[in-house]
Amino acid sequence: MTRFFSFTFTLLLASLVSCSGVSKSSETTKAFQKTDFCKTDPGNNYEIYVPKRDKNQEKLPLLVILDSHGGGKFALEKFKKGAGQYPVVLAASNLIKNGYADFDRAIGRLIEDIRQKYPANEIVYLTGFSGGARMALGYALAHPVNGLILCGALGNPQQIGALSCPILSISGTDDFNFVETAQYLLQEETMPQNLKIELINASHSWPDNQMLADALGAFRLSESTASATQLSTYLHRQHARIDSLKKNNEWVKAEQLARNMAITNNLDKDKTFWKEYNFLRTSSRYLDQLNQLGQCLSNEMNLRQSYVEAFSSRDEAWWKNEIKAIDDHIKNSSDPLSQDMYRRIKGFWGIACYSYCKQAVAQRDEAMLRKTLEIYQAVEPRNPDMFYFSAFLPYWKGDATSTIEALQKAVGEGYADLDQLTKDFSENISLRIKDRRR
């Protein structure tokens, strides 16, 4: 009996030790998110997200996110799905935005601060949207990075050629900046090997969460040993996307996706994507679409030049007729490439209005600002920047009530750069706007 008790106790003890060991090895820390700031630069604040991970797991790569408006929380949400699937530490800047001159130093301090506080290793990816993409590219030209995801903007061939890291450009075919991407599509034989282009319909905005997760997955799966299941799931989804694009007669998009997969390490070991790519790039439907795309871009550039001249030579009535004509083309055209061209033209109008308004404010040119705002309101009637610029007209006349009303409309439509508002308007007005936001 005693021997039996001793034997049973030994088995129980071994079982407990075994269970304890399993528990310890699978112990995880929960995902967490917070707002933080650099110790050496308190004004340099950012949103941080660390996904769920094993306590004993090695440190993770870092993805630094740059939103053109400094919207760290918004931009961070775009990448949390990807960080969960392909673990990385996310850091989205609240400081760096369009026009921030000292972005290079700010990014460097942010990376240094995160490595001191969070489980981030030496691998650094950068991503950005629009002006944020340009700053990410600018930083990479002066510092070593492991990869770039550039959304809504792309560099010139000299800039791309100066980098050795992989670059994924996600570009909307209806985005007014699409011309920066199109130059590579129309001369694909000269496209740098480290550049991959993903074409979407997103106008001028961040891509959706799944698209960004796939972009991050391409980096992570090419650089690490992924599980067979994870890799198989990823490859199956990309094959399905190519098939869907072909069925929708989007041959240029399908060809680029096949190329991206074919030239990425570890993602085309059986050469199925390479075979698909070679089939697509020699197909008549792809070549016809590429030729049509080139013709649309040529027409667009000519129209852009005429519209630049029209900003000073045409009145509001002419612009309203022109806007209606373009809207009718978008609505009634049966050709997707032509529809994209007209959407890009409308986007160009919007950015041109923004630039002219900014110039008019800097020069305090009331006549120029008033005329541009008439066009701006007709082109983008709910644009927050349009409402923001409209506040200067009453402000210059000392009409605080109308100024606040215009600024409230701007904030209500999404204007969030309160630092700029504080610089542009009196303390009394800026404080009232901030109080109402609370």
pLDDT of 436: 65
Higher-pLDDT residue of 416 and 172 is 172
Residue 133 lies in a domain: yes
Residue 73 has pLDDT above 90, yes or no: yes
Mean predicted confidence (pLDDT) in 406-421: 90
Instruction: Give the least confident one: 12-26, 264-278, 391-405.
Output: 12-26
Q: Are residues 376 and 388 in the same domain?
A: no
Residue 14 has pLDDT above 90, yes or no: no
Residue 250 lies in a domain: no
Higher-pLDDT residue of 1 and 234 is 234
Residue 100 lies in a domain: yes
- Residue finishing a domain among 224, 246, 272: 224
Residue 261 lies in a domain: no
- Residue finishing a domain among 173, 202, 224: 224
Q: If pLDDT is split at 50, 70 and 90, which confidence band does 12 have?
A: very low
Whether 140 and 163 have beta carbons less than 8 Å apart is answered as yes
For 80, other C-beta atoms within 10 Å of its C-beta total: 17
Q: Are residues 102 and 209 in the same domain?
A: yes
Q: Are residues 65 and 200 in the same domain?
A: yes
Q: Are residues 305 and 436 in the same domain?
A: no
Residue 354 lies in a domain: yes
The edge-to-edge listing of strands for the beta sheet with 89-93 is: 32-38, 41-50, 89-93, 60-66, 120-129, 147-151, 167-172, 195-200
pLDDT > 90: percent of the chain: 81
Residue 101 lies in a domain: yes
Q: Are residues 207 and 116 in the same domain?
A: yes
Radius of gyration in angstroms for the set of CA atoms belonging to the chain, rounded to a whole number: 26
Is the torsion defined by CA of 294, 296, 298, 304 positive or negative?
A: negative
Q: Are residues 312 and 402 in the same domain?
A: no
Average pLDDT, the chain: 90
Q: If pLDDT is split at 50, 70 and 90, which confidence band does 135 have?
A: very high
Residue 275 lies in a domain: no
For 415, other C-beta atoms within 10 Å of its C-beta total: 21
Residue 26 has pLDDT above 80, yes or no: no
Residue 69 lies in a domain: yes
Mean predicted confidence (pLDDT) in 271-296: 97
Whether 93 and 113 have beta carbons less than 8 Å apart is answered as no
Q: Are residues 39 and 177 in the same domain?
A: yes
Count of structural domains, the chain: 3
Q: Are residues 105 and 195 in the same domain?
A: yes
C-alpha 194/C-alpha 88 separation (Å) is: 22
C-alpha 261/C-alpha 383 separation (Å) is: 38
Instruction: Give the least confident one: 70-74, 167-171, 220-224, 245-249.
Output: 220-224
Q: Are residues 338 and 213 in the same domain?
A: no
Q: Are residues 396 and 367 in the same domain?
A: no
Provide the residue range defining the domain that includes 38. 29-224
Q: Are residues 40 and 177 in the same domain?
A: yes
Q: Are residues 321 and 415 in the same domain?
A: no
Whether 394 and 406 have beta carbons less than 8 Å apart is answered as yes
Q: What predicted TM-score, i.e. pTM, was given to this entire model?
A: 0.88
- Residue finishing a domain among 332, 366, 381: 381
